[in-house]
Amino acid sequence: MISQLTKAEREWAIILSAALAIGGLIVGAAGRNDLLGIHGFMVFVIGFGLLFLIVKDLYRPDPSPKRVTRYFDDPTKAGVILCMLWVIFGTFIGDWVAWLLVYPDATFDAGWSSFGRLRPVHTTSVIFGFGGNALIATSFHVLQRTTRARLVDQLSPWIVVIGFNIFCLLAVSGYVMGVTASKEYAEPEWYADIFLTIIWVLYFSIYLRTLRRRKEPHIYVANWYFMAFIVIVAILHIVNSLAVPVSLGHAKSYSLFSGVQDAMTQWWYGHNAVAFFLTAGFLGMLYYYLPKRAGRPIFSYRLSIISFWGITFLYMWAGSHHLHYTALPQWVQTLGMTFSIVLLVPSWASAGNALLTLRGAWDKVRDDATLRFMMVAAVFYGLSTFEGSFLAIRPVNSLSHYTDWTVGHVHAGALGWVAMITFGSIYTLVPWLWNRERMYSPRLIEVHFWLALTGAIIYVFAMWNSGIIQGLMWRAYNENGTLAYSFIESVAAMKPYYVGRAIGGFLFFAGSVIGLYNIWKTIHSPDLARAAAPDLAPIPHAAGSQTVPAAE
Amino acid sequence: MLNNHAKLERNAIGFVIAIILVGSIGGLVEIAPLFTIDDTVEDAPDMRLYTPLELAGRNIYIREGCYACHSQMVRTLRDEVERYGPYSLAVESKYDHPMLWGSKRTGPDLARIGNKYSDQWHTAHLINPRDVVPESVMPRYAWLMRSELQYDDMDLHLKAMRNVGVPYTNEMIENAVADTLRQATPDANNAFDVFERYGDETNLRYFDGDRRAVTEMDALVAYLQILGRLTDAAGAMPQETAKISDEEPGQ
Ligand code: HEM
């Protein structure tokens, strides 16, 4: 991959790696009496390692100047592999955490491995490690195909992929050491937040600059979603992470906001992290890989427009449904509930658009597990957005909030939608990226599909049961008009469902391992190779503005 | 509309600007007024500040992710008020940077846990919850008893808190390190100074029962014991008001 860089670019890479290492050293020195020092040192080692890798290949011959006539897919390849590694790691921790709720002592007598520290390791690994790498990798791929332009720059896409993964590492290693800002899905501390902001701005600039090079007059739908994802996540991240560090040598910071304003800001962030990270970005994936794999154009351009702007506008109002019956002023709760219900319209417009795109391709869905992954994803997307709007209704929320029902809802979306659309897209993408006729084993895709689907269904049903039972027990009264159950009775009642969830989770995890194996074998099976990679030039013109551009 | 949109689709910068505009409205309308409308946060003249020891305990609560299983927000629902106590007011978390309202109750709400149990109970419970509540699934935190509290920088912590708006005085900041030790060592010199700075309600105790060292357990228990006790505003609110909803309390 380094051989694809010119000598000058390699020199730049060396300078940047050295800067990273020095930056790490400075932070390490400033934070030597604090956990911050360990992070500084970690960054130093990473910077140094990168430096070593590049210097080793510094004097390789330059790549052929013809490289600019081809798409630039190396960062995407790296992103796909990293994405699979993160999902395996993240669901492994998820399953561990799930077992901890059954056997609370199934861990070590030390802080790093206790539930409260591992849980954010799970959420960050799957949302950012798995989801984030999937988004970055596929967005670079889709962007080039739908604009018929090569990515700008040689180095900056690499910086985004590597930098983003350094951020994930800082986050996850921070939690186990006890560094956390405690804001859900925004737990990393101030220095990691600043680092991510820099990486994100770079990501945005690559996207925008490549778009401006496009040879297609119109910007394809998938890119609308990827852009919304990049831009809005930047806004959310910056505002929600505002904080004052204890000192420049401390990892710890105090959030700028407090109490009710902090709660509202946090859930404005939290809900829209779901909306723009876990929904918009993945809709971008759906709008490209699903029609490509099905060989059918998107069902309705008009529906795409309605759902895109509906989602972009409405979601941002919905965060307060996480705060029903709390000390948040009631008018904000009411707004949150109202907008959450209306949100169902654009959500179902997207899901419907995806499913109707499959009209006439249902025989393919039956035979092709990859396409089936994407079909099931669209179905889960429809179901969990329906459930979401339902849970946002105040009286329903009075039962469901604080219970496992929320966790069940989250995982219907996470396992059923996010992960399934990602696996479908990756199985579509991998043979293209590595120039293979097909995946190594279609049967293993089939196995993965059924493991993932069974796992997800077991998980979600277990949590529906436990959540509703919990909610009902907490509010049950006996004949004397006093509360019928103590809290611990509700804890004990959860046990069978927690076992079920952990088993479902294991199936899902096992599926991901099989997925990585299959990808690995695909890459390392030269006999699957097909003719040369498609160049930029001979890509046929797409007819009409919003049909899927034909090139892979 | 389709024509206009087709134009927008040809303009990358325009598209981005449109996304920012359309996406910003909701947040602006819902968040900005919370900072300006006065009755968003009630008045509570008796509101105490966290002592440095309690703040250190709060930071341990954050570090250990207790918030992943415990909320600190009693909702305005009849069963919650009966189970946990008066519903939470916004003012009670006014000095919480960040707030710890939580989103999941694997364990019970802790907003009103202060003074509900003895220090010994908390210490034993944190060392091994199953010694106290056999069916508990809460993790053990025995190592908190073994880790000495690091508090030589508590003055910096108070300063940072002041920078985000908590009214710590210069005197509090100057004495932060010493006050941390004092609150967990009632026999220490000038221990009672803590009352002068933080009020007579402040707990001055060997929280974890171990007199030899100030441990992380001391700090955490000190924090748990003042939860819900920074102000009496919530207790003073008439709880049978229209605000409490008994939507389907499942008679
Ligand atoms: C093997 C599969 C998985 C297992 C066993 C698993 C398990 C868990 C467990 C035990 C929790 C904590 C729930 C609690 O506190 O009671 C959790 C939370 C969470 N997980 Fe997973 N998980 C899996 C996959 C995923 C994936 C793929 C994603 C996202 C793409 C995800 C996103 C989340 C989120 C966002 C939460 C926080 C939920 C909340 O705060 O309500 N999980 N998971």
Is A522 within the bounds of a domain? yes
User: A515 and A415 in one domain?
Assistant: yes
User: What are B219-238's pLDDT values in tens digits?
Assistant: 999 999 999 999 988 887 76
Q: Any idea what DSSP says for residue A112?
A: G
Q: Does B34 touch chain A (CB under 8 A)?
A: yes
pLDDT tens profile B180-220: 999 999 998 888 999 999 999 899 999 999 999 999 999 99
Which DSSP letter does residue A532 get?
P
Is residue A342 within a helix (H) or strand (E), and if so which, with residue range? helix A330-342
- The residue extents of the domains of chain B are 2-40, 52-241
The rounded distance, in Å, linking the Cα atoms of B118 and B96 is: 24
Contact status, residue A175 vs residue A120, Cβ threshold 8 Å: yes
Q: What is the CATH number of the domain that holds A275?
A: 1.20.210.10
> Do both A368 and A392 map to the same domain?
yes
User: Tokens 């396992």 identify what position?
Assistant: A415
H/E stretch holding A305 reads helix A301-314
DSSP assignment of A504-527: HHHHHHHHHHHHHHHHHHHHT-GG
A317, two tokens = 């109002």
* pLDDT at site B49: 96
Rounded distance, CA A179 to CA A250, Å? 10
- B235 in contact with A, Cβ within 8 Å: no
Of A33, A115, A340, which to mutate for an interface test with B (greatest number of B Cβ within 10 Å)?
A115
Residues A254 and A398 in one domain: yes
The pTM for the full model equals 0.94
| CA gap B172, A43 in Å, rounded | 37
Domain assignment of residue A541, yes or no:
no
In a domain, A547, yes or no: no
Spell out which residues of chain A touch residue B26, defining contact as CB-CB under 8 Å: 268, 313-318, 339
What tens digit of pLDDT does each residue of B42-91 get? 888 889 999 999 999 999 999 999 999 999 999 999 999 999 999 999 99
Give residue-wise pLDDT tens across range A258-287: 999 999 999 999 999 989 999 999 999 999
Query: In angstroms, what CA-CA distances link B202 with B95, B117, B179, B207?
Result: 17, 16, 12, 13
**A543 assigned to some structural domain:** no
Q: Which residue bears the tokens 């909030």?
A: A401
The string of pLDDT tens digits covering residues A485-504 is 999 999 999 999 999 999 99
Q: For residue A243, which phi and psi values (nearest 5 degrees)?
A: -160, 160
Q: How many residues does chain A have?
A: 552
Nearest CA to ligand 1 atom 7: A94
In a domain, A537, yes or no: no
CA angle A102, A108, A111 (to 5 degrees): 105
What's residue A552's pLDDT? 46
User: A483 with A451, same domain?
Assistant: yes
Give the domain range for residue A38: 1-60
Q: Are A37 and A143 in a shared domain?
A: no
Q: Are residues A325 and A405 in the same domain?
A: yes
Per-residue buried b or exposed e for B4-18, using 16+ beta carbons within 10 Å of the residue's own CB: ebeebbeebeebbeb
Pairwise pLDDT comparison (B162 vs A274), residue with the higher score:
B162
Q: Is residue A140 part of a domain?
A: yes
pLDDT tens, position by position, A163-203: 999 999 999 999 999 999 999 999 999 999 999 999 999 99
A162 and A47: one domain?
no
pLDDT computed for residue B79 by the predictor: 95
Residue from A96, A203, A257, A268 whose CB has the most chain B CBs within 10 Å, to mutate: A257
Q: Please name the residues between 233 and 252 in chain A that touch chain B, using a CB distance below 8 Å.
A: 235, 239, 243-247, 250, 252
Residues B244 and B251: their CA atoms lie apart, in Å, by 16
Burial of B113 (0-12, 13-18, 19+ CB in 10 A): buried
Structure tokens at A47: 């910077």
More confident residue, A106 or B36: A106
The verdict on A272 and A314 lying in the same domain is yes
- B241 close contact with A: CB closer than 8 A: no
Asked if A122 has any chain B CB less than 8 Å from its own CB, the reply is no
Q: Is residue A418 located within the same domain as residue A526? A: yes
Q: Is residue A275 part of a domain?
A: yes
Query: Which residues are near ligand 1 (CB < 6 Å)?
Result: A 91, 94-95, 97-98, 119, 122-123, 126-127, 130-131, 406-407, 410-411, 414-415, 418-419, 505, 508-509; B 68, 103-104, 106
Residues A35 and A123 in one domain: no
Instruction: Give the rounded percent of residues in chain A with a pLDDT score beyond 90.
Output: 89
Q: Is B127 on the interface with A (CB under 8 A)?
A: no
Segment holding A444, helix H or strand E: helix A442-475
- The per-residue pLDDT for range B85-96, each reduced to its tens digit, is 999 999 999 999
Q: Above 80 in pLDDT, residue B244?
A: no
Please tell me whether residues A90 and A19 are part of one structural domain. Answer: no
- For A270-383, list the strands marked E by DSSP: none
Considering its fold, how many domains does chain A have in total?
2
Task: Give the residues across from A477 on adjacent strands.
Answer: A483
CATH class of residue range B52-241: mainly alpha
Running along chain A, 552 residues long, what does each successive block of 10 average in pLDDT? 86 96 96 96 97 90 86 96 98 98 93 96 98 98 94 94 98 97 96 97 97 92 96 96 96 96 96 93 96 94 94 94 95 95 96 94 94 97 96 96 97 97 97 94 98 98 97 96 96 97 98 98 91 49 42 46
pLDDT of residue A545: 38
With 50 as the cut, is the pLDDT of residue B241 above it?
Answer: no
Q: Are A239 and A265 in contact (CB under 8 A)?
A: yes
* Token representation of residue A194: 């600043």
Tell me the pLDDT tens digit for each residue of A7-63. Answer: 899 999 999 999 999 999 999 999 999 999 999 999 999 999 999 999 998 888 888
Q: What is d(CA A492, CA B138) in angstroms, rounded to the nearest whole number? A: 12
Question: In the prediction, which pLDDT does A540 show?
Answer: 36
Same domain, A141 and A19: no
